[in-house]
Structure 1
Amino acid sequence: MSRTIRLVPQLVGMFVRTKFEYPGAMLLAWFSQATSYGAMYTAIALIVQRFGVLGGWTWSEMALLLSFHLLAYATGASFSFTQFRVMEDMVRLGTMDAILVKPINTWVYLVFSGLNIGYTGHIILAIGLMSWALTQVDLVWSISTTLYFLATLLSAAAIVASLMTMIGASALVWVRSRHLYSIFFGFWELARYPMVIFPFPIQLMLITIVPLGFLSTVPVAVLLGKTVPLLGDSAGLACLLAGPLMVTIAIIHWRWCLRNYQGAGG
């Protein structure tokens, strides 16, 4: 274990150096990502300001929701999306076999040898928008509030990383799993809006089968003292438990997929 931990900074360092080989392209990618999300958020802001509220949420509250959603997603995805999106190709081409025989934990190698710093643009935009939103909403800070905010942010990031890991790992058994990311991002887009605007079946799915409701709308609603559909007073505790629960499920799924992997030849 200690040897694996010592290898992590080296894996990250090698990957980061490859990305900085073309700094202009990297900075342009960060700028384009931030601009794309900025344009989307501007459109949402115009709609909310035109009608006053969206599902009972003002623009400043929506800004906190959107920034929390983007920051949690970017944090979790930087440890999982690009790394596990290519699992399907690695299985099909046989390169996964070479990784499995490396003298290091397979998951650790995949995650940290491809740690995606490309989400820096997302993170900068999210922190900027969040900093403004926190000065506008009626939120009284205390030690417990601060700890809860940080804990739910980490829990939300863990949910993203867990779901993406499970989708990628499924390729070890099914070979084809990339199409599942389309389903993930469909629900991910819904998660940037308050759950109260959706019908009951979608609300239920966002806190159970695809628990991306815990990515933003549930924890932010708890912070702002809003009622959370279906969860009620248990929403605060559910936010804290959702991340660890999904990590546990992802570990079980990952190990099951590794045990049932038969190699490129089937």
Structure 2
Amino acid sequence: MTWGLFFKLITLLTKEKMIYRADFILAAFAQIISYAGDYLVIWLFIRKFNAIAGWTWPEIALLYSIGLFTYALGASFSFVQMRGLEEQVKSGTFDSLLIKPVNPYLYLVCRGFNLGYLAHIVISCTVLLWAVSSLDLEWTWARVFYLIAAIIGGAMIQAGFMSIIGSTSFVWVRTGFLFTLFFRIKEFISYPLPVFGTLIQIVLTFVIPFAFINFYPVAFLLSHETPLLPAWTMWLVPAVGPFCYWAGYRIWMLGVNKYQGAGG
């Protein structure tokens, strides 16, 4: 698949969404209100206790915003696409992707690009910019590059894991419960990692590396301690994302090779 075809698909999908512009705007507004409620709950909780594990409200707002922002970026190219694989495998409509002269994974993620995550991006970026302006941080070009690389890496971690979940459709067909589990585990990264016990910290660092989505990069930028990793490894944090996405892609392609037609 060429970049020209990629942008052509994105353009066509955007035009399709804009046909029902009012519906799109209302849905986006509803999502913004929903996530504003999440921010409010966290703010009220911190207001009662002043800080959580030594993290203040602006710091946790930055942590949560990066988690939400990276989810929006990663999910726009993976969630709807991978969640819908279950039905495509059951009905046999997935077969139509395999006869196209393009990489099936790239075609699937581009064809299903979800413009609806724009609302997530708007509210997360707004709070992120407020949090950054509220914190006394010394910004250098190296730190700016690190933040951008960490955001891209966080998006790739989430897209990679959703791709892995999607790949199980080719074997188990039903994968809805795995997405539910994914979102339940992802709730842990709304708060600083030291809030949880050692076992959960180990799982979120070495087993399901969701802590690399936002906790480790934000802790590095804010000069907070990282309980399980030494300070020098923080420069390697953005590399976790590309690895997770590469692994997700390879596992997905392996699942395609095991696909035997309608019903899995």
TM-score past 0.5 threshold: yes
Match of 1:203 in 2: 201
Write out aligned runs for 1:86-165 (5 A): 86-165=84-163
State the TM-score, normalizing by the size of structure 2. 0.96
1:23 offset after TM fit, Å?
Answer: 0.7
5+ residue gaps in structure 1?
none
Match of 1:184 in 2: 182
Match of 2:250 in 1: 252
Write out aligned runs for 1:236-247 (5 A): 236-247=234-245
Match of 1:215 in 2: 213
Count of residues paired in the alignment: 264
1:230 to 224, 228, 231: 228
User: Matched residue of 1:191: which SS?
Assistant: helix
CA distance in 2, matches of 1:58, 1:6: 45
Identity %: 38
Q: Which deviations, in whole Å up to 9, do the C-alpha atoms of 1:23-69 show, x marking residues without a partner?
A: 11100111111111101111111111221101110011111111111
CA distance in 1, matches of 2:106, 2:250: 16
Residue 29 to residue 265, structure 1, CA distance change in 2 (3 Å): closer
Match of 1:29 in 2: 27
5+ residue gaps in structure 2?
none
Is the contact between residue 64 and residue 189 of structure 2 (CA under 8 Å) also seen in structure 1?
A: no
CA distance in 2, matches of 1:258, 1:187: 26
1:85 offset after TM fit, Å?
Answer: 0.5
Paired residue type of 1:217: F
CA distance in 2, matches of 1:5, 1:156: 23
Q: CA RMSD in A?
A: 1.2
State the TM-score, normalizing by the size of structure 1. 0.96
CA distance in 2, matches of 1:260, 1:63: 43
Question: Following superposition, which runs of at least 4 residues in structure 1 exceed 2 angstroms of deviation?
Answer: none
Is the contact between residue 89 and residue 170 of structure 2 (CA under 8 Å) also seen in structure 1?
A: yes
Match of 1:72 in 2: 70
